[in-house]
Structure 1
Amino acid sequence: MKKVLYPLAAAALFSAATTAHAEDKSLVIGTNNWAENIAVANMWKIILEDKYDYDIELSDVGKNALYSGLANGDFDISLEIWLPTTDAPYLEPYKDRVEINGAWYEGTGLGVVVPTYVDIDTLDELGEHADDFAYQGSPTILGIDSGSSIAGLTDEAIDEYSLPLEQVNSSGPAMMAALDDAYSREEPIAVTLWSPHWAFAEYDLKYLEDPKNVYGDNETIYWFSRQNFTDDDPWLTQVLNEWHMDDDSLGTLMADIEKAGDPVEGAQTWIDDNQDLIDEWLAAGE
């Protein structure tokens, strides 16, 4: 005899299926060394482990390894992909083997940044005043690791604008230390930066205008995952798709981490102060 599924029973079963947590609560989050990436990864690790008994590993790797790792199933999710421009080259080889999910931040910025006390406003003017931006004796744009998207775009900008400067790549903290030192003495310095970043709350900075649009337009940050993750953990998928942050919420999270000098301590401070916002995200899975 054919079974009849009454509407209320069907609704209950559907609700249970869509809000159920994954049976296997172990989760590997692939991260890269950008301030906002470190911030949100530690935030979610604390929330999910403390409230929902997940066992989460954060695996910090370079961009190429991050994308190949998701495609190969070595990581379950990663919380930051900038589209349509910045991370498109990294995505392209794996676009059929990873899943792009919900957007959580809109209106990014990316480019060469100088302190506002510096009297130039465009990349062309940077070239005209290159000698003012000497670092260790040579006209320089200070950047982060050479494998990053922004490093590649900055190399393109140097070629496109025929800038008589070289890009010197180092870690994000080393670049910020150089910025802090120059800023404290009100000396000219040019660095590669992006928004969101805590530096814009700490210092008065400005992007140099990029009329040739090498760095692209404002973008959107999404989270992404290995294939079939959304089927394996529909509850977390719903929660992360509901997650949204703006300059205030993300900026204060990064500032708390910077102030604490520890991503776990800083993220915990922010979580304690923003439980109402977190509850809104988590309500999506109820």
Structure 2
Amino acid sequence: MKIFVRIFTAIALMIFAMAPVKADEKVIKVGSLSWEDQMAISLVTSKFLEKEGFKIEFTKFSEWGIAYAALQKGDVDILLSNVDYIASDYWAKFHSKLEKVSIVSFGVVQGLVVPSYVPVDSVDQLNTIADKVGGKIIGIEPGSGLMREAHNALKDYDLKYQIIDGSTAAMVAQLKSSLERKEPIVTMLWTPSWMAKVFDVKFLKDPKGSFAPPQAYYWIAKKGFSEKNPHARESLASVYLPLQDNVDINSAMNDGKTIEQAVDDWWQKHQATVEKWSVMSSE
């Protein structure tokens, strides 16, 4: 009888000890750049993972270097990234230790822009207005792929310009001020973004191909993630957010909503789509 009690107690302790581990397996640590287009996709995906029974721990990053370092260390399990061009340097450096889980959206485009009233239509014409803008291209965060490509354009087109490091918020403020004053400015934008929709600007043609063609958004992870987390992998692979939906979410933010509120609104309006994702992601 004593032997039976001891065995039963040992089994009970083993079950008790294993319970937290099983719970931890349901936690997915999601990483995303803090940019609006990335956040829209990441938050929609996170809501779907929660619907599928996962607990989400969400982390925002200010630039790619920090984000990839966090993925390497395991501070996040998955990271939204544009591995073909925007973050290609980091992907090339670490890809042997990483895996592409799924494509979640497609079509991001970025480049140099000027107000529609500025009389240039192509990057190779920018030197003709350099003196009117003080020889400056107003940039964003220095760690972004867009900034890297802008520096490539300086060399490719022999532009007599200096790119000014800054932040997206500072760039937006300067662009808005220039537009209100009808002054010339050279800066950079991307789509999907509410800015490209709201501001009266035009993307400059890029005949030398300094800027990347339309790109995909990938969920990436450390190697082995999909094998260890098959349901999470199927859930991630079931989510696809069309580019226009991303633009709509960003536009709602420009109308005064937070990114979380804009995503919640999208979620409520697209329940039929969400249910289709659930069918595809079922174990």
TM-score range, shorter chain: 0.7 to 0.9
Moved over 4 A (4+): none
Shift of 1:142: 1.1
Residue matched to 1:14: none
Matched, 1:41 2:37: no
Shift of 1:187: 2.1
Shift of 1:255: 1.6
Distance 1:69 1:250, change over 3 A: same
Shift of 1:102: 1.7
Identify which range, 51-60 or 233-242, moves more after superposition.
51-60
Residue matched to 1:266: 262
2:210 to 214, 222, 245: 214
- 2:143 & 2:57 partners in 1: Cα distance? 26
> What 5-or-longer segments of structure 1 have no aligned partner?
1-20
SS at match of 1:128: helix
Residue matched to 1:226: 222
- Asked if the contact 2:112/2:204 (under 8 Å) is kept, the reply is yes
Aligned residues: 261
Residue matched to 1:132: 132
1:179 to 175, 190, 200: 175
SS at match of 1:118: coil
Distance 1:131 1:50, change over 3 A: same
- 1:99 & 1:38 partners in 2: Cα distance? 21
> What 5-or-longer segments of structure 2 have no aligned partner?
1-21
Return the letter of the residue paired with 1:80: S
- 1:125 & 1:151 partners in 2: Cα distance? 19
Shift of 1:50: 5.7
Residue matched to 2:100: 100
SS at match of 2:135: strand
Residue matched to 1:109: 109
Distance 1:167 1:22, change over 3 A: farther
Shift of 1:171: 1.3
Rg larger in 1 or in 2? 2
Residue matched to 1:251: 247
Return the letter of the residue paired with 2:122: T
Paired-residue identity, %: 24
- Asked if the contact 2:107/2:243 (under 8 Å) is kept, the reply is no
TM-score, normalized by length of structure 1?
Answer: 0.83
SS at match of 1:213: coil
SS at match of 1:284: helix
- 1:22 & 1:96 partners in 2: Cα distance? 30
TM-score, normalized by length of structure 2?
Answer: 0.84
Residue matched to 1:74: 75
Distance 1:61 1:228, change over 3 A: farther
Matched, 1:153 2:154: no
Distance 1:160 1:194, change over 3 A: same
Considering only aligned residues, what root-mean-square deviation do their CA atoms show, in Å? 2.2
Shift of 1:25: 2.1
Higher normalized helix content (fraction of residues): 2
1:284 to 273, 280, 283: 280
Identify which range, 204-213 or 88-97, moves more after superposition.
204-213
- Asked if the contact 2:114/2:185 (under 8 Å) is kept, the reply is yes
Return the letter of the residue paired with 1:272: Q
Shift of 1:37: 0.9
- 1:183 & 1:281 partners in 2: Cα distance? 42
- Asked if the contact 1:78/1:225 (under 8 Å) is kept, the reply is yes
Shift of 1:229: 1.6
Shift of 1:215: 1.1
Which whole-Å deviations, capped at 9, do the CAs of 1:100-127 have from their partners, x for residues lacking one? 1222222331210122222211112111
SS at match of 1:265: helix
- 2:253 & 2:55 partners in 1: Cα distance? 22
Distance 1:61 1:203, change over 3 A: closer
SS at match of 1:211: coil
Matched, 1:27 2:23: no
